[in-house]
Amino acid sequence: MDLSFDGTVWHWRGPAPWYFVTVPAELSEALSSNAAHVSYGWGVLPVIARIGRTTWRTSLIPKDGRFLVPLKVSVRDAEGIDLDDVVSVHLHVAT
């Protein structure tokens, strides 16, 4: 399954702060319907993500009926991504 969307980068300031992009509701619903086939542990989904020319392996995190794409420092640095930027995200989920 391949998905693409644009989303705004936001920062979670919890005990382990991270930057994320939230997968839109309709795409999160499609992911949820396939989650049982590929999920490991508490509903996380392994994916290959791409923003710009940067591709990396990560896991989508379920939160409030949607999924979050975590953005590592190396990805943000390589693509010049900052808080509140709108980025085009491409995801490949092995089903």
Sequence-distant (≥ 6) Cβ neighbours of residue 75 within 8 angstroms: 51, 54, 56, 81
**Which residue range is the domain that position 54 belongs to?**
2-92
What is the total count of domains within the chain? Answer: 1
What's the pLDDT at 95?
A: 62
What's the pLDDT at 35?
A: 67
User: Average pLDDT for consecutive 10-residue bins of the chain (95 residues)?
Assistant: 96 87 95 70 87 96 94 96 98 84
What's the pLDDT at 13?
A: 85
Dist. CA 57–CA 41, nearest whole Å: 17
Which tokens go with 1? 């399954």
pTM above 0.95, yes or no: no
Which tokens go with 59? 């896991």
CATH number at residue 83: 2.40.30.100
